[in-house]
A and B are shown apart, each in its own frame.
Chain A
Amino acid sequence: MITLKNIEKVYRTTRIETLALTNINLSIAPGEFISIMGPSGCGKSTLLNLMGLLDEPSAGQVQIGGEVVTQYRDRELARLRNRKIGFIFQSFHLINDLSVIDNVEIPLLYRKGDAVGASRREMAREALEKVGLSNRMKHFPGQLSGGQKQRVAIARAIVGRPDIILADEPTGNLDSAMGNEIMNILQQLNAGGATIVMVTHDETMAKQTHRLIRLFDGALVGDSVLARTDD
Chain B
Amino acid sequence: MLANYIKIAWKVLLRHPFYTFITLFGISLTLTVLMVLTSFLDHLFGSHYPETSRYRSLYIQQMIQRDSARTSRNGGPMSFKFLTQYAKSLKTPERVSISTFYSTSNAYVGSRRIKLNTKFTDADFWQVTDFEFLEGKPYNEQTIAGGDHVAVITDDFKRQYFDNLEESAVGKDIEIENLHYKVIGVVKGSPVTRIFTYADVYFPYTAPKSNYQRTGFRGDYVAILLAKNKQDVPVIRTEFQDRINRIPMPAVSDGFKFDILEVPSEPYVENFIGMILDGGAGLRMLFFSLIAFILFMLLGLPAINLVNVNVSRIWERASEIGIRKAFGAPVRTLVWQFIVENVFITFIGGAIALILSFIIIKLINASGWIAYADLTINLSVFLVSVLVCLVFGLLSGVLPALRMSKLSIAEALKS
* Interface positions of A (Cβ within 8 A of B): 46, 49, 52, 54-55, 74-75, 78-79, 81-83, 87, 89, 93, 95, 97-98, 102, 105-107, 109-111, 156, 160
Q: Mark B332-361, 1 if CB is under 8 A from A, else 0.
A: 110000000000000000000000000000
**A98, B324: Cα distance in complex, Å:** 13
Q: A95-B323, A102-B7, A109-B4 are in contact. Are A55 and B328 (CB under 8 A)?
A: no
7 contacts between A and B (CB under 8 A): A46-B410, A87-B327, A95-B320, A95-B323, A97-B11, A109-B1, A156-B327
Q: At the interface, yes or no: B408 with Cβ under 8 Å from chain A?
A: yes
Q: A93-B323, A95-B323, A109-B4 are in contact. Are A55 and B410 (CB under 8 A)?
A: yes
Q: Which residue of B lies closest to A86 (CB)?
A: B327
Known contacts A93-B323, A93-B413, A160-B327; can you find 18 more A-B pairs with CB under 8 A?
Answer: A46-B410, A54-B325, A54-B326, A54-B413, A74-B330, A75-B332, A78-B325, A78-B330, A81-B328, A82-B327, A95-B8, A95-B319, A97-B8, A97-B15, A106-B324, A109-B329, A111-B328, A156-B327
Contact between A55 and B409 (Cβ–Cβ < 8 Å)? yes
Report A-chain residues with C-beta under 8 Å of the C-beta of B410. Answer: 46, 49, 54-55
**A55, B408: Cα distance in complex, Å:** 8
Q: Which of B339-395 contact A (CB under 8 A)?
A: none
**A77, B189: Cα distance in complex, Å:** 69
Q: Which residue of A lies closest to B325 (CB)?
A: A78
Q: Chain B: interface residue count, which band?
A: 20 to 34
Contact between A110 and B12 (Cβ–Cβ < 8 Å)? no
Q: At the interface, yes or no: B331 with Cβ under 8 Å from chain A?
A: yes
Report B-chain residues with C-beta under 8 Å of the C-beta of A110. Answer: 324, 327-330, 333
Report B-chain residues with C-beta under 8 Å of the C-beta of A46. Answer: 410
A-B contact count (CB 8 A): 71
A171 to chain B minimum Cβ distance, whole angstroms, is 18
Report B-chain residues with C-beta under 8 Å of the C-beta of A156. Answer: 327
Report A-chain residues with C-beta under 8 Å of the C-beta of B328. Answer: 78-79, 81-83, 107, 110-111, 160
Q: Which of B13-28 contact A (CB under 8 A)?
A: 15
**A185, B319: Cα distance in complex, Å:** 25
B16 to chain A minimum Cβ distance, whole angstroms, is 12
**A186, B172: Cα distance in complex, Å:** 99
Report A-chain residues with C-beta under 8 Å of the C-beta of B322. Answer: 93
Partner of A98, one of B8, B325, B330, B408: B8
**A111, B327: Cα distance in complex, Å:** 10
Report B-chain residues with C-beta under 8 Å of the C-beta of A107. Answer: 327-328
B212 to chain A minimum Cβ distance, whole angstroms, is 74
Contact between B8 and A106 (Cβ–Cβ < 8 Å)? no
B264 to chain A minimum Cβ distance, whole angstroms, is 56
Contact between B332 and A87 (Cβ–Cβ < 8 Å)? no
Q: Which residue of B lies closest to A83 (CB)?
A: B328
Report B-chain residues with C-beta under 8 Å of the C-beta of A54. Answer: 325-326, 409-410, 413
B13 to chain A minimum Cβ distance, whole angstroms, is 10
What 3 pairs across the A-B complex have the smallest Cβ distances? A82-B328, A97-B11, A110-B328
Max count, chain A CB within 10 A of own CB: residue among B4, B408, B409: B409
Q: Which residue of B lies closest to A48 (CB)?
A: B410
Q: A78-B329, A110-B327 are in contact. Are A97 and B409 (CB under 8 A)?
A: no
Report B-chain residues with C-beta under 8 Å of the C-beta of A93. Answer: 319, 322-323, 413
Report B-chain residues with C-beta under 8 Å of the C-beta of A79. Answer: 328, 330
**A79, B12: Cα distance in complex, Å:** 27
**A111, B322: Cα distance in complex, Å:** 17
**A55, B409: Cα distance in complex, Å:** 7
B229 to chain A minimum Cβ distance, whole angstroms, is 49
**A156, B328: Cα distance in complex, Å:** 12
A56 to chain B minimum Cβ distance, whole angstroms, is 9
Contact between B413 and A89 (Cβ–Cβ < 8 Å)? yes
